[in-house]
Amino acid sequence: MVYPLFRLEKRSEFLKQPVGHSRQGDFIKCVEQKTDALGKQSVSRGFTKDKTLSSIFNIEMVKEKTAEEIKQIWQQYFAAKDTVYAVIPEEKFDLIWNRAQSCPTFLCALPRREGYEFFVGQWTGTELHFTALINIQTRGEAAASQLILYHYPELKEEKGIVLMTAEMDSTFMNVAEAQCIANQVQLFYATDRKETYGLVETFNLRPNEFKYMSVIAELEQSGLGAELKCAQNQNKT
């Protein structure tokens, strides 16, 4: 859902409550229960079922390559494709992965022309599934993933890198928007700032204390959404 000018849209009784109200915690718990279904729905809208690393390239062949060579191969392979991809250092992925075990769910804020839209992320193994909060609220357990980030740790021990790529439902978001969400995974899960990761912990462990606007404030402070917001405003004019 979009939050224009820091005003909550009245899409449900939950969202009529002020930010920080105790019923917000009930809503978050409801979201957590429903996001358990993310990643378990039937694959549709162009998503690949069981998207393995071996389905992308020959793992045995690249084992003879250095980490830098594999990084270049990965980047060259996806450079001409309309998707999100990355090569994540082992240390950073381990930090993200360890934190995801205790805090597997979180909200990301995607800049829109007149506010922000929240997307809920849910880890399912090494896949990270996202869907719009309004999608969960209206469709519940039937809410399908709109963005999936695939992480491949097969080369982590030997090469010190984890490969990542993504698939998205292009009817809901474009590549720049998907990249903004992917960047927020590192912003919130791989940060050294206790306050930033503290938002993830609060959402998962102390939902009654969670403030939606803190996510937007952190995103704006990081500058991650500024370029996307600028592009959207230019398109509007």
> pLDDT by residue (tens digit) across 151-174?
999 999 999 999 999 999 998 899
| Cross-sheet strand order for the sheet of 127-132 | 85-89, 161-168, 147-152, 127-132, 115-124, 105-112
Determine the residue type at 174: N
pLDDT at 84 over 60: yes
Closest listed residue to residue 92, CA positions, set 200, 222, 183, 202: 183
pLDDT at 147: 96
Kindly report the average pLDDT of the chain as a whole number: 81
Calculate mean pLDDT across residues 59-66.
Answer: 89
pLDDT at 16: 37
pLDDT at 4 over 50: no
The pTM for the full model equals 0.80
Rounded Cα–Cα distance for residues 10 and 23 (Å) = 14
Calculate mean pLDDT across residues 15-27.
Answer: 42
pLDDT at 24 over 80: no
pLDDT at 2 over 60: no
pLDDT band at 36 (very low <50, low <70, confident <90, very high): low
Determine the residue type at 8: L
Per-residue pLDDT tens digits for 173-202: 999 999 999 999 999 999 999 999 999 999
pLDDT at 230: 56
Paired tokens of 135: 């999608």
Higher-confidence residue of 233 and 152: namely 152
pLDDT at 20 over 70: no
pLDDT band at 29 (very low <50, low <70, confident <90, very high): low
Length of the chain: 237
Calculate mean pLDDT across residues 86-106.
Answer: 97
Rounded Cα–Cα distance for residues 184 and 49 (Å) = 25
Rounded Cα–Cα distance for residues 148 and 168 (Å) = 6
pLDDT at 179: 95
pLDDT at 218 over 50: yes
pLDDT at 17 over 70: no
pLDDT at 87: 97
pLDDT band at 69 (very low <50, low <70, confident <90, very high): very high
pLDDT at 61: 86
